[in-house]
């Protein structure tokens, strides 16, 4: 999940690219120093979810259906 953070400037809407939390912090601070030197860095942080494997609910649902089918098949 190294590429799960993106920072948005609170002044102009500039967005950093997706990256690690520390990379995003450095990028937004650099942006503020260059484009808004008299303003304290602000804005918001976006967190990308569901993008790094793991399967999620779909895999769990498929596994549950498979278990039910196996239980039904083993009783016959």
Q: How far is CA 70 from CA 4, 25, 58, 60, in A?
A: 38, 50, 19, 15
pLDDT band at 52 (very low <50, low <70, confident <90, very high): low
Contact 45, 7 (CB under 8 A): yes
Q: Which two tokens stand for residue 42?
A: 């602000």
Per-domain residue ranges of the chain? 5-74
| Share above pLDDT 90 across residues of the chain, in percent, rounded to a whole number | 47
CA distance 53 to 48: 12
What's the pTM? 0.61
- pLDDT for position 71: 83
φ and ψ at residue 63, rounded to 5 degrees: -65, -40
Model confidence at 51: pLDDT above 60: no
Beta bridge mates, 45: 7
């Amino acid at each position: 999940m190294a590429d799960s953070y993106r920072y948005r400037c609170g002044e102009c809407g500039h967005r950093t690219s997706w990256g690690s939390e520390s990379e995003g912090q450095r990028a937004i601070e650099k942006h503020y120093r260059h484009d808004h030197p008299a303003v304290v860095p602000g804005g918001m942080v976006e967190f990308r979810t569901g993008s790094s494997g793991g399967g999620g609910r779909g895999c769990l649902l498929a596994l549950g259906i498979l278990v039910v089918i196996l239980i039904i098949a083993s009783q016959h």
